[in-house]
């Protein structure tokens, strides 16, 4: 497993192979996204968060995943078209990947190993159980729109449950604190 998040191979949504090296020294919010989820409207808040802080060295990075109830069935081009047309997404999107289980992408293996528990997970987990969904145990990602906050030094600083909205004061405060670190 890579020791450095910036060296992990990823694929951009246009099919170009890449890494996160471009973002070395930036604060990142890595989010597994889906187009047909009850939380999909969070795209709007993620766009606003990205726009609000991007000039200060912050970026939201969206990683589509179809791990939960088939809520991201589209191809990369369909996902990109949906995100652009519906929410005006301009933050970077990457190729669809797997975020749970034995076939999880190395990025998500790294993230979940670095910080095994999401803040607010218990409440969201209870809500899923009420809907007859048996969530996978930690450190697995719980559902679509789980958020990992990465500091300028590439460390995972915080991990937020999927139902933590992009404008939640805990998340925004964590982003602002991370932007002040190392400056």
| Catalytic site positions | 37
Q: What are phi and psi of 88, to 5 degrees?
A: 65, 35
Q: Are 37 and 71 in contact (CB under 8 A)?
A: yes
Residues 6+ positions from 127 with CB-CB distance below 8 Å:
163
Alpha helices in 42-165 (DSSP H): 42-53, 76-87, 106-114, 121-130
- The tally of CA atoms less than 13 A away on the side-chain side of residue 161 is 14
Cα distance between residue 17 and residue 120, in whole Å: 34
Which residue in 180, 181, 145, 175 sits closest to 51, CA to CA?
175
Cα distance between residue 183 and residue 178, in whole Å: 10
Q: Are 136 and 117 in contact (CB under 8 A)?
A: no
């Amino acid at each position: 497993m890579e020791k450095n998040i910036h060296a992990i191979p990823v694929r951009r949504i246009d099919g170009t192979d890449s890494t996160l090296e471009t973002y070395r020294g930036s604060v990142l919010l890595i989010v597994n996204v889906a187009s047909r989820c009850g939380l999909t409207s969070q795209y709007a808040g993620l766009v606003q968060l990205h726009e609000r802080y991007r000039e200060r060295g912050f970026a939201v990075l969206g990683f589509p995943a179809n791990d939960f109830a088939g809520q991201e069935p589209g191809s990369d081009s369909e996902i990109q078209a949906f995100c652009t047309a519906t929410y005006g997404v301009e933050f970077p999107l990457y190729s669809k990947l797997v975020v749970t289980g034995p076939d999880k992408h190395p990025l998500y293996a790294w993230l979940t190993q670095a910080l095994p528990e999401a803040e607010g997970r218990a409440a969201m987990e209870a809500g899923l159980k009420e809907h007859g969904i048996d969530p996978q145990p930690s450190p697995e990602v719980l559902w679509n729109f789980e958020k990992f906050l990465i500091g300028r030094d590439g460390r995972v600083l915080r991990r937020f449950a999927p139902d933590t909205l992009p404008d939640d004061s805990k998340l925004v405060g964590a982003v602002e604190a991370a932007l002040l670190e190392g400056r």
